[in-house]
Structure 1
Amino acid sequence: MDKQLDLTRLKGVGPKLREQLQRLNIHSLADLMFHLPFRYEDRSRIQMIGSLQHQQPAVIQGEVRSADVLFGKRRSLLVKIADHSGVLSIRFYHFNAAQKSQFRRGALVRCYGEARRGASGLELYHPEYQLLETSLDDLPEPQLTPVYPTTEGISQQRIRLLMEQALEWLAANNIPLDDLLPLDWLQQWGLPSLKQALLFLHRPPREVELAEMASGHHPAQRRLILEELLAHQLSMQRLRSKLQQQGAPAIQDTWTLHNALLEQLPFTPTRAQQRVTVDIVTDLSQPLPMLRLIQGDVGSGKTLVAALAACHVLEADFQVALMAPTEILAEQHFQNLSGWFEPLGIHCGWLAGKTKGKARVAALESIASGQARLIVGTHALFQDEVQFHRLGLVIVDEQHRFGVHQRLALKEKGNLGGLSPHQLIMTATPIPRTLAMSAYADLDTSIIDELPPGRTPITTVAVSDQRREEVIQRVDNACREQAQAYWVCTLIEESEALQCQAAENTAAELAEQLSHLRIGLVHGRMKTSEKAAIMAAFKAHELDLLVATTVIEVGVDVPNASLMVIENPERLGLAQLHQLRGRVGRGSLASHCVLLYKAPLSLTSKQRLQVMRESQDGFYIAEQDLMLRGPGEVLGTRQTGLQMLRVADLQRDAELLPQVREMATQLWQQHPERVEPLILRWLGDAERYAAV
């Protein structure tokens, strides 16, 4: 179907409505057809008032018995209607005199809404309604009623009318819909054609059960779910293919630097670290860009694996760049890597957004000349003015905080006569397998599934803030026994300023109550040098208690810290709570995490805290986080367009992903001409995320 079939063919679509539709990514009749319902309502049957149940949506019909304006806490219009089975109240808080006069005694009214318990028993609040001449007027809907995603200025009724016009126009003009899935696939899996699937989903017959549609298991839904997941898979595979067409330097070396680094360490890498390092070295030896994702739970030793990967590239006389999302994490990496590599004669460079003046000029010169061999920094590394001398490897920590396009921007810095640098992506946020298969289809994956020996399990308890004094006493006891503690103040109303103020107030309060302890404070509005100095003092045990915002979520390693208090944990997602908790349990001391929550908790918050109490398995926690929050939030809003899925649901449809990967490979090999139209149909402009 022609992507450019104009919306103005539809009655009532002028410049203003067309602009509003564009906010829903509807630019043509084809886009409108693929703007699919996210749920359905059954308005095809009139239900008896006497059979209504709490929280049950239904169509009911009856005669008006009374219509009165009531004055209580809020003025309301209460209309009572009745059929032969009972009486029901309809309540309006927003109404006018003309509306009240419509509900004259004896008038016949039909309405749709959700029954809820109110002052007069079950009530409908602000239902959709119509007044009828006779009981046969406008019989109920002949099919299930679709509910579409909308935007400001476009009501459900408006979009349904547009959709009906589009369906009728397409049927009348016999416009073909391109079936981009091979016919033998549809026959093999018992799936309808694209046209059949779309018509069914926009107009499901009344015989279809709502529960079946909600489950996503109807063949018409499966047809489009498979196609949408396939489009995303192909998009990521095409990205990988484009990257690999450029080639990369094949890194061959003698393992000299690798072994020299290990000899100066006071510990031996775990078997998991060794296995993942072999994966990386094998990739580096190929003349194709390495695209590898390293997943490892908090404290699993990803930094050492990255350092060992860097050894091989540095020994081959290339530069290595490591990019981290925050200055505090980048500084931690710089300190660790400088300590390991400077004694081996490798000069380490540093570049962050706050590097200014002469220091910045010097840093840029050392990167461009090749004097800086291993460069650590924040997103400042991919700014236009940064020129690398001979970049062979890009390491990105906490990939989900950057998104695909930003790490590719750094990759562009390394073109060497048509060759691209290798890429190593690290994350301490375990990504559920379902997400990894789709969001990271352009990457090979290795998992560090073993913690270094000596790590102690962390006991986690949830405590109401009504017991705050007990928690403060617990901190005091721990610090008196020569341990150290964190007190974390979480985000307040998405405001960094308020978050920092809360941390300052908490630090002042604790300093007053625990005046004999040495207390430090770290938050996002402090200068980098101040934060570094306080963190260094805490690590050197010159401070007993560190009050901090969530800036300490990643990268801080203080083995003597064995107690963490997280205030208002209900404000955070599971992945972030798990990251924060991972700051303790890094030494030999028995470690504890106290989740100091504010009652009452929502059901979701209770579920989150329960997961934290029962598990320290990052992958289990990530799966639960996906169930509670959805893929868009788990990956971060900057990630490629998975949060924009229209009919597919990664959690619900996880079992389809292996099939989708096989489908992508087959389509690419057997029907390459269908790849581009399929990606365009489902991703459109959103595919720019993957194209950069």
Structure 2
Amino acid sequence: MSHLEPHKQPVTTLTGIGSQSAARLEKLGIHTLQDLLFHLPLRYQDRSRIVPISQLMPGMTTLVCGTVEFTDSIQRGRPSVICRIADASGSLSIRFFHFTVQQSQQLKPGTLLGCFGEIRYGYNGLEMVHPEYKIVSAAEQLLETTLTPVYPLTEGISQSALRKAIKQALTLCLTSDSAITDWLPANLLTEHGYPSLNDALQTLHNPPPHLSAEIINGGSLPALKRLVFEEFLAHHLALLQGKLAYKSWQSPVFDINQAAKQAFLEGLPFRLTGAQQRVSSEIESDCRQAQPMLRLVQGDVGSGKTVVAALASLLALNSGYQVAIMAPTELLAEQHFRNFSIWFAETGHQVLFLTGQLKGKARQATLGALADGSANIVIGTHALFQDSVHFHKLGLIVIDEQHRFGVHQRLALREKGQHGGLRPHQLIMTATPIPRTLAMLQYSDLDISIIDELPPGRKPIATSVISSERREEVIGRIEHWVAQQRQAYWVCTLIEESEALQCEAAEKTAAYLCQALPNVRVGLVHGRMKAAEKDAVMQAFKNRDCDLLVATTVIEVGVDVPNAGLMIIENPERLGLSQLHQLRGRVGRGDQDSYCLLLYQSPLSQAGKQRLAILKESNDGFVIAEKDLELRGPGEVMGTRQTGQIQFKIADLERDRDLLELIPAAAQLIHSQHPNVIQPLIQRWIGHSRHYAEV
């Protein structure tokens, strides 16, 4: 055996694990003995007691033992073997569809047979189909001393093989002279009633039979909570370490040019709200420091985050630095480009636009202007941060709608634009209010500002929940609305992931509305259209050359047409509340009355009605975000399909969200009193994960 500590040994150290099995285990993320220890069961089976046949119920998965009464081959239909076993209380049929002659010969009358499997109704009463079975001389030989773990598997690795490997790993790593190090301080464990790491792992892999399998499977066992707590803590510490590491760098110190700021504000067609002024002051304070700003600005739909980003940009520009603004979609990037071009028209600063669609000489010219410093502001999509993009003197990065990207991209961006040993300031914006508990986990490396005030004159959007059976009424309402020189949106949603199907649905809806509303000018925008086509349609809508815009959820962010005061959202039951609130925020941007009609498919479940009622009753994005979290759980709210979000080995945001509240205080304790355990904890749970490469 090598000089490595036991838990750091490769799995090939174990008996029965060769290079082929090791390669298969790698698919489960298992490389070392420690990985095996943290590969927890999906669920548990109770083989510690035999259930009398008379007490069996359909749906039970249990252990029975009985004497074979007869075995019969059935040839009609699908060939099978039926074995009838009996104990003192009753009898049970055991059915095998895949069997050999030797198997059926083994099951002769008088044989004592133990079977473990699921009970269900069969042709002749209760039966087990394809149970695990064992011929024994006494029933006691069947009984296990602990609950039996059932592990997640991969092709080529069986339950029995994985159980044997984990059993060996437990013996090698959890004995008194080679116990895996417990990095959590004893007082922290005592405070929360958690067991030691070794005890927790032993319990989770070999739970004593007095523990209910239902309790363990439900996630309420202290042994499991203790591991989840440590994993959440490690991720929280990793982000905090990233923040400390980044803050240890030098950054540009921006000058505050009050005259330039005042001139800029006077050129705007509106006055800043108190919340916008407060957040701008917080940003100014950050940017006057020699350490890089890492600030998240949260604001509800229409609260005016973009102008706050523009004021931050002005700080950088007046100090001789460049600004890069990244948006998740071309549509939103185009919106920012138009606004910034207008706002900065009189300042002498050139605003450029860069997306993946920009090609040839135009792209080369843009890249050249950024590299030689002749352009000061660039707005675009993730194309901004490709290797081919070089900045002359980047001082500020603004990331809009951060939740569309991911943690690892945010961390990677901090490396972009180093100049003379200085790191750029970073401002992150989101119009999707983040529930507090999720913000603690996902954004613990950021200072947070909240724009909690809407511009004056904004009226609440009146929201109605309407069955799709009343579609004709809705179409009549659009006709009446357009006759008043107002504009409207019709948003198509599909549950299918396929963008092609979503676009096809939008095209069919647009064709149907053109036919139903011959006097209404109908436009169409969806994700598969070329940027120039989308831009032309959106510009026509802004210029009032289009009355009704049919769109997919591509318009969720970045569209600002004050005259559009009516929105119809089809199939709203298929979207989360926060996304619906984002879509609804495309209307209500002027000082006139605005309406949102949620056109659901009947029948709508009670839970569906409850969700849509929340949207009807509230226009507050922060309230809606918290309600969304309660109803759908963190995984859905954060978007589990979305790349870049934090991935956990053991923790489950849905099941374990109550533990998130405990993490900030625990992290503070670790930082102040036990800094030596920070890196080992991060290494154990995150290791070489790209999310935290910087850490």
Task: Give TM-score scaled by structure 1 length.
Answer: 0.90
Q: Deviations over 1:99-128 (max 9, x none)?
A: 77777677655444455678877666x564
Decide which of 515, 524, 538 is 2:541's aligned counterpart: 538
**Partner-residue secondary structure (3-state), 1:426:** strand
**Partner-residue secondary structure (3-state), 2:244:** helix
Decide which of 344, 352, 357 is 2:355's aligned counterpart: 352
> Structure 1 residues 96-105 or 617-626, which shifts more?
96-105
Aligned pairs (5 A) from 1:606-625: 608-609=611-612, 611-625=614-628
Aligned pairs (5 A) from 1:463-502: 463-491=466-494, 493-502=496-505
2:646 is the alignment partner of 1:642 = yes
Show the counterpart of 2:444. 441
Task: Please tell me the residue identity of whatever aligns with 1:526.
Answer: M
Measured in 1, the distance between the counterparts of 2:507 and 2:82 equals 51
Decide which of 31, 34, 54 is 1:30's aligned counterpart: 34
Show the counterpart of 2:382. 379
Aligned pairs (5 A) from 1:464-613: 464-491=467-494, 493-598=496-601, 608-609=611-612, 611-613=614-616
**Partner-residue secondary structure (3-state), 1:562:** strand
Give the Å deviation of 1:22.
0.9
Q: Deviations over 1:357-381 (max 9, x none)?
A: 2221221222223232221111111
Decide which of 658, 662, 666 is 1:663's aligned counterpart: 666
Task: Please tell me the residue identity of whatever aligns with 1:634.
Answer: M
Does the C-alpha gap of structure 1 residues 387 and 6 become closer, same or farther in structure 2, counting only changes over 3 Å? Answer: closer
Does the C-alpha gap of structure 1 residues 137 and 333 become closer, same or farther in structure 2, counting only changes over 3 Å? Answer: same
Show the counterpart of 2:261. 258
The sequence identity of aligned pairs, in percent, is 53
> Structure 1 residues 14-23 or 36-45, which shifts more?
36-45
Q: Deviations over 1:560-611 (max 9, x none)?
A: 2233222333443333233222222323444333333445667876665455
**Partner-residue secondary structure (3-state), 1:299:** coil
Q: Deviations over 1:19-43 (max 9, x none)?
A: 1211111101111112122433333
Show the counterpart of 1:678. 681
Measured in 1, the distance between the counterparts of 2:57 and 2:390 equals 68
Show the counterpart of 1:323. 326
Decide which of 198, 201, 223 is 2:201's aligned counterpart: 198
Does the C-alpha gap of structure 1 residues 526 and 158 become closer, same or farther in structure 2, counting only changes over 3 Å? Answer: same
Give the Å deviation of 1:324.
0.3
Does the C-alpha gap of structure 1 residues 64 and 260 become closer, same or farther in structure 2, counting only changes over 3 Å? Answer: farther
Is contact 1:295–1:428 with CA below 8 Å preserved after alignment?
Answer: yes
Measured in 1, the distance between the counterparts of 2:629 and 2:121 equals 33
Measured in 2, the distance between the counterparts of 1:429 and 1:536 equals 25
2:303 is the alignment partner of 1:300 = yes
Q: Deviations over 1:486-522 (max 9, x none)?
A: 2222246322222222221221122122121100011
Q: Deviations over 1:237-269 (max 9, x none)?
A: 111122112111122213223322222233322
Decide which of 407, 410, 429 is 2:410's aligned counterpart: 407
Task: Please tell me the residue identity of whatever aligns with 2:12.
Answer: T
Task: Please tell me the residue identity of whatever aligns with 1:567.
Answer: E
Is contact 1:235–1:690 with CA below 8 Å preserved after alignment?
Answer: no
Decide which of 214, 237, 241 is 1:238's aligned counterpart: 241
2:435 is the alignment partner of 1:432 = yes
Show the counterpart of 1:277. 280
Show the counterpart of 1:42. 46
Task: Please tell me the residue identity of whatever aligns with 1:412.
Answer: E
Does the C-alpha gap of structure 1 residues 404 and 85 become closer, same or farther in structure 2, counting only changes over 3 Å? Answer: same
Measured in 2, the distance between the counterparts of 1:526 and 1:315 equals 38
Does the C-alpha gap of structure 1 residues 526 and 114 become closer, same or farther in structure 2, counting only changes over 3 Å? Answer: same
2:642 is the alignment partner of 1:631 = no
Q: CA RMSD in A?
A: 3.2
Q: Deviations over 1:376-406 (max 9, x none)?
A: 1111111222222221111000112222333
Q: Deviations over 1:617-664 (max 9, x none)?
A: 333433454452543761565665633241x34455445445432333
Q: Deviations over 1:168-225 (max 9, x none)?
A: 3445794221121234434555433221221111111111234543454433233322
Q: Which runs of 5+ in 1 are unaligned?
A: none
Task: Please tell me the residue identity of whatever aligns with 1:532.
Answer: D
Show the counterpart of 2:15. 11
Measured in 2, the distance between the counterparts of 1:168 and 1:690 equals 33
**Partner-residue secondary structure (3-state), 2:688:** helix
Measured in 1, the distance between the counterparts of 2:52 and 2:505 equals 55
Show the counterpart of 1:369. 372
Does the C-alpha gap of structure 1 residues 612 and 362 become closer, same or farther in structure 2, counting only changes over 3 Å? Answer: same
Measured in 1, the distance between the counterparts of 2:492 and 2:355 equals 26
Q: Deviations over 1:278-325 (max 9, x none)?
A: 211111111110001111122221112111222222222221111001
Task: Please tell me the residue identity of whatever aligns with 1:536.
Answer: Q
Is contact 1:434–1:650 with CA below 8 Å preserved after alignment?
Answer: no
Measured in 1, the distance between the counterparts of 2:14 and 2:606 equals 45
Show the counterpart of 1:141. 144
Task: Please tell me the residue identity of whatever aligns with 1:7.
Answer: V
Is contact 2:405–2:644 with CA below 8 Å preserved after alignment?
Answer: no
Give the Å deviation of 1:433.
1.3
Measured in 2, the distance between the counterparts of 1:577 and 1:245 equals 40
Give the Å deviation of 1:461.
4.1
Does the C-alpha gap of structure 1 residues 186 and 451 become closer, same or farther in structure 2, counting only changes over 3 Å? Answer: same
**Partner-residue secondary structure (3-state), 1:396:** strand
Measured in 1, the distance between the counterparts of 2:558 and 2:165 equals 52
> Structure 1 residues 241-250 or 159-168, which shifts more?
159-168
Is contact 2:633–2:654 with CA below 8 Å preserved after alignment?
Answer: no
Measured in 1, the distance between the counterparts of 2:79 and 2:459 equals 60
Task: Please tell me the residue identity of whatever aligns with 2:480.
Answer: N
Show the counterpart of 2:164. 161
Measured in 2, the distance between the counterparts of 1:105 and 1:609 equals 62
Measured in 1, the distance between the counterparts of 2:16 and 2:480 equals 72
Measured in 1, the distance between the counterparts of 2:175 and 2:677 equals 27
Measured in 1, the distance between the counterparts of 2:108 and 2:592 equals 76
Decide which of 332, 336, 341 is 1:338's aligned counterpart: 341
Task: Please tell me the residue identity of whatever aligns with 1:40.
Answer: Y
Measured in 1, the distance between the counterparts of 2:609 and 2:27 equals 36
Is contact 1:626–1:651 with CA below 8 Å preserved after alignment?
Answer: no
Does the C-alpha gap of structure 1 residues 155 and 415 become closer, same or farther in structure 2, counting only changes over 3 Å? Answer: same
Is contact 1:4–1:29 with CA below 8 Å preserved after alignment?
Answer: yes
**Partner-residue secondary structure (3-state), 1:241:** helix
Decide which of 294, 302, 324 is 1:291's aligned counterpart: 294
Task: Please tell me the residue identity of whatever aligns with 2:19.
Answer: P
> Structure 1 residues 451-460 or 241-250, which shifts more?
451-460
Measured in 1, the distance between the counterparts of 2:297 and 2:83 equals 62
Is contact 1:381–1:410 with CA below 8 Å preserved after alignment?
Answer: no
How many residues align? The count is 688
Does the C-alpha gap of structure 1 residues 153 and 465 become closer, same or farther in structure 2, counting only changes over 3 Å? Answer: farther
Give the Å deviation of 1:49.
4.4
Task: Please tell me the residue identity of whatever aligns with 2:540.
Answer: A
Is contact 1:143–1:204 with CA below 8 Å preserved after alignment?
Answer: yes
Does the C-alpha gap of structure 1 residues 622 and 146 become closer, same or farther in structure 2, counting only changes over 3 Å? Answer: farther
Q: Which runs of 5+ in 2 are unaligned?
A: none
